[in-house]
Amino acid sequence: MTSTSSIAVLGTGIMGLPMACNLVTGGFNVTAWNRSSTRHTTLMEAGINVMPTPTDAVRGRDAVIVMLSSGPVCEEILFGEQGAAYAMAPGTLLIIMSSIGRNEAIDLAERSHSMGLEWLDAPVSGGEKGAIEGSLSIMAGGTEQAFERAKPILAAMGRSVHIGPAGTGALAKLVNQLTVATTIAAVSEAMTLAEVGGADPARVREAMLGGFASSCILDQHGQRMLERNFTPGGPSKHQLKDTRAACDTARELGLDLPLLKLTDQLFSDFVESGGGELDHSALLLEVRRRNGLAI
């Protein structure tokens, strides 16, 4: 696939918008569709053709990238009553970059293959910052042939690794999200313990960044916690979707993962209490609420 290949992007929200813009920068001809029209001006200014429906966006494209909120939404847009997949020519490369469940990815891959489409489940990690910078970590599941074909496209958005067959990219993302979510919970508790114990959380974080506890979560989300800056890069409701999917997968595989269960419950309680639209680093507020601290 050459640098002049045509790509459709379905879903141009917090992540999809900068990803689409980076594809244009990488020399691709990009069309896009988004459920909301709020980003249309930005897309057009970036040289992206905005289409009124998903079907219009994908027709005649060499590859289609899907960056929607969940597995059921991906299924609806692709295979619903007026599904976009039916407008794709055989041989079209379909890349699902949304975070979806392992079994959802396997099912959608089988349906795509039956229509003659090439498939990759290729979810990402790195948040809004990584999407803007084009430095996302991309975990790809599918055939070696599909991955090789997708490499130039994925390179415009970040660094990709071929994990294995269809479904393994989605599984890798659940593993990633388990790690992110439990680390956010740990940093939330650490910042709370430091404050209540009489230490300056900012200085505690500074000290930790020089040792084995250092991590991107402590660095970036620890700073968000200190600033109480919870404008969403990754909304808590989406983090809960992923921890739920990870719990489901663990259960299907006969695994008992107690840290995952506890973290999933924390996010569930936080979302239920009204925090779903806040960044997932705002889990700090749930820890504080449970301890009767001001939030």
The catalytic residue positions are: 173
For residues 76 and 294, give the distance between their C-alpha atoms in angstroms, rounded to a whole number: 42
Give the dihedral of Cα atoms 190, 133, 163, 8; nearest 10 deg. 130
Please name the residues in contact with 18: beta carbons below 8 A apart, sequence gap of 6 or more: 128, 131, 132
Q: What b/e string do you get for 76-98 counting C-beta neighbours within 10 Å, with b at 16 or more?
A: ebbbeeebbbebbeeebbbbbbb
Q: Which amino acid is at 44?
A: M
Place of tokens 């992110």: 180
The answer to whether the beta carbons of residues 57 and 83 sit under 8 Å apart is no
DSSP string, 26-61: TT-EEEEE-SSSTTHHHHHHTTPEE-SSHHHHHTT-
